[in-house]
């Protein structure tokens, strides 16, 4: 599994901590560091860039961090075929994948501490879509998404 990570100026410390944590575990992770290529980049373009990288298949999953995680989730969900959610607890992180088949987890550095963030990311990486009762819900979500993105 190939993972990417990025953040805005409100989450630089947590991004560094999570990047190093995952590297130390041998996880294939890339820091997109969008802000390095564009001075003054704001979270919408940073989160959009990360989501697009997943949409085109460069990465399987992504970690997007800002002050609260809310803005990053909102912008990622504007990219067709991408599903993202804010998670500040382990159960939600697991359900993000197991029940919702989402590719992006978002977090807020101003909301969560680094040790809890590491635990949440570890649980998220171990989670896979389980199908079952969630299959019909995810399929319906994808069908409704197509109506929204592909208006005729």
What is the spatial distance between Cα 19 and Cα 89, in angstroms, rounded to a whole number? 19
Burial of 24: CB neighbours in 10 Å, binned 0-12, 13-18, 19+: exposed
| DSSP secondary structure code for residue 132 in this structure | G
pTM reported for the whole predicted model: 0.92
> What domains are defined for the chain?
2-149 (3.40.1400.10)
Report the pLDDT averaged over residues 65-78.
Answer: 97
Confidence at 152, pLDDT banded by 50, 70, 90: low
Burial of 44: CB neighbours in 10 Å, binned 0-12, 13-18, 19+: middle
Alpha helices in 25-113 (DSSP H): 34-37, 43-55, 70-76, 90-98
Using alpha carbons, select from 43, 42, 14 the residue that is nearest to residue 114.
Answer: 14
In this model, does residue 151 exceed pLDDT 80? no
The verdict on whether 66 is a catalytic residue reads: yes
Q: Which among 7, 66, 87, 97 is annotated as catalytic?
A: 66
Give residue-wise pLDDT tens across range 101-124: 899 999 999 999 999 999 999 999
Report the pLDDT averaged over residues 21-29.
Answer: 97
């Amino acid at each position: 599994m190939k993972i990417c990570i990025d953040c805005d100026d409100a989450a630089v410390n947590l991004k560094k901590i999570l990047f190093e944590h995952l590297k130390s575990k041998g996880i294939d992770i890339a820091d997109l560091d969008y802000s390095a290529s564009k001075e003054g980049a704001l979270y919408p373009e940073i989160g959009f860039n990360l989501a697009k990288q997943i949409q085109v298949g460069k990465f399987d999953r992504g970690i997007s961090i800002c002050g609260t995680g809310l803005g990053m989730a909102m912008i990622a969900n504007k990219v067709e075929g991408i599903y993202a959610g804010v998670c500040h607890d382990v159960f939600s992180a697991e359900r993000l994948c197991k029940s919702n088949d989402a590719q992006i987890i978002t977090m807020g550095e101003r909301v969560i501490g680094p040790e809890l963030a590491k635990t949440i990311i570890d649980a998220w990486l171990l989670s896979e879509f389980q199908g079952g009762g969630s299959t019909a819900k995810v399929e319906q979500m994808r069908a409704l998404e197509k109506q929204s993105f592909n208006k005729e």
